Structure 1
Amino acid sequence: MDEDSGIRLNRPLAIAAVVVALLLGLVVGGALDIGKRLFGGPDPETVASSALQSMRAQNRLVPFVARYVSVVSSRQERLGGLVSSERTLILPGDVRYELDLAQLGPDDVKWDAASNTLNVTLPEIEIAGPEVDLAAAREYGEGGVLSVVTDADQALDRNNRARAVADLRKQAASPVPMRLAREAGRQAMERSFALPLQAAGFDSAKVIARYASDGTPVTEPLDRSRAYNDVLEDAQARR
């Protein structure tokens, strides 16, 4: 048998195999659909509860990491300023922003069937660190009589390190990075709950994650612009 004949014989077999596969797919799909109708599929509360247990097992989530650099100087004077010593430290460090998932409880994950929405209340973001990069640290100082006859340089270095670590934490807790970290944590948690819901077939389900300090949609103040006349009246009343 030549090669062309083999191709002509195998083509109908391949088509038949595809048809059989499609029929089997329809049969299996129909059976699964009937099974869901008879026995019921997973409900959103069950899916959300399973996702919650899985996340609690992870213990901590790190949605955001930032690097900061602190520059501090210390100076020591004696004999009325006749002798002095000064040291400057440049210290970089990494800070992690974490969510303690162990704090999540069943009361923090609530399904609203009316709006098809899963509401999640998150624990507050925690700052971990800083993890200082000693290899990249730089120290500079002015040599003087005080540094020669005493341990002033060592004392100034210790003071600089303590101040630098405190400064790194202060930078990490400033409003801008905290806002970025909170938003990253919120988005990460929404994805973590949305993916299993979508995998279970709840494609239209929404997930809204909020921090306890954010309040609720009811109690949260609305951002409204005031009327022009109201502003004028208040200005005149203050005169």
Structure 2
Amino acid sequence: MARVQALPWLLFIMVLALAVWLGWRAFGPQDNGDPLATSLVAFEKQNRLTVFSAQLSPVVASEDSRLFGALRSRQVAVIPARVDYTLDLSAMDRKRMSWNDASDTLDVQLPALTIGRPNLDEGRAQYLREGLWITRTAQDELTRKNTALAERQAVEQAANPVLLTLARGAAKDAIRQNLAIPLQVAGFGNVTVNVRFDGEAPAPAPAPAAPAPAN
């Protein structure tokens, strides 16, 4: 009931905000302000942005020996893991952005992606144990070893060039959307946002328009 009653007020506020924005666009100053300041505002509330997540399934194996080798056991484990790729947006400042007023183009240089610590889902892990008699202590030790191996393997898999390429592509798409929309709302029109990471070459400048043929 509370949501139903609040809806008219929400609609009123949205209409009022739209009317104010349209009035500002029609009668306000033509100077839209600083595009870099507008872009930095879009980053203020997002110190760390998760841009991509990879679902991995490390397959690991460990062995255990007790009673001078009389009791040998082995455990194979498949432990699902999720790894997040994030951007540290707190490092973004004016030095990492440039605006081309002639072409309405914003160039953005991002810091390197951060690969998070793997989140192992041991509740969905699958185990295969081999041995004539596996004590509780040996089983716990095998599980502990496999957990450490799975975490290490997940980190290595997350650094795979294919996954990194996908994560960088997702990061660029997210930043383009996060910056293009505020700039459009601020009155800069249909802007172009070029995004690159540290170490990547900047996008080539657009070719100048050909002169119109003389009559």
Contact 1:123–1:211 (CA<8 Å) still a contact in 2? yes
User: Is 1:120 equivalent to 2:108 in the alignment?
Assistant: yes
User: Is 1:41 equivalent to 2:66 in the alignment?
Assistant: no
Cα offsets for 1:53-107 (capped at 9, x unmatched): 3313221111111211111111245799764211111100111110111011111
Aligned to 2:86: 98
Cα offsets for 1:4-43 (capped at 9, x unmatched): xxxxxxxxxxxxxxxxxxxxx9xx96x964543xxx3313
2:162 to 176, 179, 200: 176
Aligned to 2:173: 187
1:60 to 48, 60, 65: 48
Aligned to 2:123: 135
Aligned to 1:201: 187
Cα offsets for 1:103-159 (capped at 9, x unmatched): 1111111101233211001111111121111210122211325x34x9433322221
Amino acid of the structure 2 residue aligned with 1:143: G
Backbone CA RMSD of aligned residues = 2.7
Contact 2:32–2:187 (CA<8 Å) still a contact in 1? no
Alignment partners' CA distance in 2, 1:197 and 1:56: 15
Contact 1:87–1:141 (CA<8 Å) still a contact in 2? yes
Q: Look up the SS of the partner of 1:107 in the other structure.
A: helix
Structure with greater proportional helix content: 1
Aligned to 2:138: 152
Amino acid of the structure 2 residue aligned with 1:211: F
Greater displacement, 131-140 / 180-189: 131-140
Q: How many residues align?
A: 184
| Distance of aligned partners of 1:198 and 1:35 in 2 relative to their CA distance in 1, 3 Å threshold | closer
Per-residue deviation, 1:217? 3.9
Contact 1:108–1:120 (CA<8 Å) still a contact in 2? yes
Contact 2:51–2:86 (CA<8 Å) still a contact in 1? yes
Amino acid of the structure 2 residue aligned with 1:154: D
Amino acid of the structure 2 residue aligned with 1:214: E
Alignment partners' CA distance in 2, 1:188 and 1:180: 12
2:98 to 82, 87, 110: 110
Q: Look up the SS of the partner of 2:58 in the other structure.
A: strand
Q: Look up the SS of the partner of 1:197 in the other structure.
A: helix
Aligned to 2:73: 85
Alignment partners' CA distance in 2, 1:32 and 1:75: 71
Contact 2:64–2:73 (CA<8 Å) still a contact in 1? yes
| Distance of aligned partners of 1:75 and 1:194 in 2 relative to their CA distance in 1, 3 Å threshold | same
Instruction: State the TM-score, normalized to the length of structure 1.
Output: 0.68
Alignment partners' CA distance in 1, 2:67 and 2:137: 16
Contact 2:104–2:188 (CA<8 Å) still a contact in 1? no
Alignment partners' CA distance in 1, 2:141 and 2:190: 63
Question: Which is higher, the Rg of structure 1 or of structure 2?
Answer: 1
